[in-house]
């Protein structure tokens, strides 16, 4: 009996390097996919295991040779130069991240190549980070931490958060998970997305072209949008000026979405109450960056939504579910729109 050819899956891990991903040794440990991880993910799927073979590799060590006959690529970042020639048989790429901006534009992909991401894997952690950061801003923690650095003991009182308004820009899994938790405290959440799609936890949702109409209402501005050409400098200096001086800002999307220079200026002038930022370009932040010394600003090192110790497992759960669909010639989940870039 003729044996069926196994589906070849290339797994590309990245060693850590400053300014890259992962950016430190702890990140490398958290995001590395091993043979043991794969075996555990396939433990309950013997029918899949017998049909596939994995090649686990690092960086570009064997990338070109392996991709010459690979069917599937599981990775975060890779060279897209001459990709159609390097990977002529590739049918599907699954990214271990939700964001794909580091691979844009997607014109290196051939028409039949499918790209999926790990959207949803960050939801629980992102929701908790969102709740934490909004409550920290409500309780003036950015100012309290600045006062601590300056050795100032100043009583800053606050009120319950019920009745406040959050303008949430980006209502995907990251933003919507925050909305559900914060709305339970009686907070009014105004969602902003591309099509005005309704979202659980949001009292109303508007399209992104109408964002200027709601910015003056924001007690908190929460950014959870991907970095794409459409979102670049979305929160510009002009739009920051539309916010009331008591507004607090959180960004877990991408730095390209907001004018950080303008934000720093406004924080120094007390024209914005406080901000919590989790995303930067490059990472780590340069030691000479003005962000370090800006008052009323908290910086977290891109940790808002990664589940330490469980990230690879959660990612492989999404991948294996899609792998089952792939084998059955069915539509894959989490497909990235090549035109929109997410």
| Residues 6 or more apart in contact with residue 130 via CB below 8 angstroms | 174, 175, 177, 178, 179, 181, 182, 222, 224, 250, 252, 304
User: pLDDT averaged over the chain?
Assistant: 94
283 assigned to active site: yes
Decide if pLDDT at 252 tops 60: yes
Same domain, 34 and 179: no
Other Cβ atoms less than 10 A from the Cβ of 301: the count is: 15
The one catalytic residue in 47, 140, 254, 308 is: 254
The one catalytic residue in 283, 308, 331, 335 is: 283
Same domain, 143 and 257: yes
Same domain, 130 and 60: no
Total structural domains within the chain: 2
Residue 342 resides in a domain:
no
Continuous segment of H or E residues that includes residue 105: none
CA 276, 171, 160: angle at the middle one, nearest 5? 50
Same domain, 259 and 191: yes
237 assigned to active site: no
| Residues 6 or more apart in contact with residue 9 via CB below 8 angstroms | 52, 53, 54, 55, 70, 71, 72, 73, 74
Decide if pLDDT at 309 tops 90: no
CA 335, 234, 22: angle at the middle one, nearest 5? 55
Same domain, 268 and 313: no
Same domain, 208 and 183: yes
254 assigned to active site: yes
Same domain, 155 and 261: yes
- What pLDDT digit, counting tens, does each position of 10-69 carry? 999 999 887 777 878 888 888 999 999 999 999 999 999 999 999 999 988 899 999 999
The one catalytic residue in 60, 101, 302, 308 is: 302
Residue 340 resides in a domain:
no
CB 112 within 8 A of CB 97: no
Provide the pLDDT for residue 219: 98
Continuous segment of H or E residues that includes residue 288: none
Same domain, 128 and 197: yes
Provide the pLDDT for residue 266: 98
Beta partners for 12?
57
Residue 263 resides in a domain:
yes
User: Domain of 145: which CATH number?
Assistant: 3.40.50.720
Residue 338 resides in a domain:
no
Same domain, 131 and 271: yes
Same domain, 57 and 204: no
Tell which residue, 329, 315, 314, has the closest CA to residue 114.
329
Residue 160 resides in a domain:
yes
Mean pLDDT of 251-273: 98
Query: CA end-to-end span of the chain, whole Å?
Result: 44
Q: Please count the residues of the chain.
A: 342
Residue 332 resides in a domain:
no
Beta partners for 299?
277
Residue 2 resides in a domain:
no
Provide the pLDDT for residue 23: 78
Same domain, 129 and 262: yes
Tell which residue, 325, 264, 307, has the closest CA to residue 98.
307
Confidence of residue 1 (pLDDT cuts 50, 70, 90): very low
CB 118 within 8 A of CB 318: yes
Q: Considering the chain, what percentage of its residues have pLDDT values greater than 90?
A: 88
Same domain, 195 and 104: no
The whole domain housing 153 covers 123-299
Other Cβ atoms less than 10 A from the Cβ of 161: the count is: 18
Provide the pLDDT for residue 3: 57
Residue 237 resides in a domain:
yes
Provide the pLDDT for residue 33: 96
């Amino acid at each position: 009996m003729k044996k069926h050819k196994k589906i070849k899956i290339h797994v590309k891990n990245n060693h850590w390097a400053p300014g890259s991903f992962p950016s430190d040794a702890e990140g490398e440990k958290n995001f590395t996919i091993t043979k043991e991880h794969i075996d555990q993910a396939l433990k309950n799927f013997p029918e899949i295991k017998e049909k596939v073979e994995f090649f686990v590799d690092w960086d570009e060590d064997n990338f070109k040779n392996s991709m010459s006959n690979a069917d599937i690529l599981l990775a975060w970042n890779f060279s897209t130069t001459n990709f159609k020639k390097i990977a002529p048989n590739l049918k599907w790429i699954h990214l271990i991240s939700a964001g794909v901006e580091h691979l844009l534009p997607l014109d290196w992909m051939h028409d039949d190549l499918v790209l999926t991401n790990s959207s949803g894997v960050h939801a629980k952690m992102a929701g908790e980070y969102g709740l934490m950061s909004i409550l920290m801003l409500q309780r003036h923690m950015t100012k309290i931490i600045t006062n601590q650095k300056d050795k100032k003991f100043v009583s800053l009182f606050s009120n319950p958060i019920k009745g406040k308004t959050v303008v949430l820009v980006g209502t995907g899994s990251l933003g919507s998970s925050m909305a559900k938790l914060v709305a339970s405290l009686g907070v009014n959440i105004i969602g902003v997305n591309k099509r005005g799609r309704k979202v659980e936890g949001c009292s109303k949702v508007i399209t992104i072209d109408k964002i200027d109409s709601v910015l003056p209402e924001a007690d908190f501005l929460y950014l959870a949008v991907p970095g794409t050409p459409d979102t670049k400098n979305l929160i510009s200096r002009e739009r920051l000026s539309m916010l009331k001086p008591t507004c607090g800002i959180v960004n877990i999307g991408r730095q390209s979405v907001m004018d950080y220079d303008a934000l720093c200026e406004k924080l120094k002038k007390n024209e914005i109450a406080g901000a919590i930022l989790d995303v930067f370009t490059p990472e780590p932040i340069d030691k000479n960056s003005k962000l370090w010394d800006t008052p009323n600003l908290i910086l977290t090192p891109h940790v808002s939504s990664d589940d330490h110790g469980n990230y690879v497992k959660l990612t492989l759960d999404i991948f294996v579910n899609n792998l089952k669909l792939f084998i059955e010639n069915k539509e894959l989940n989490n497909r990235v729109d090549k035109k929109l870039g997410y």
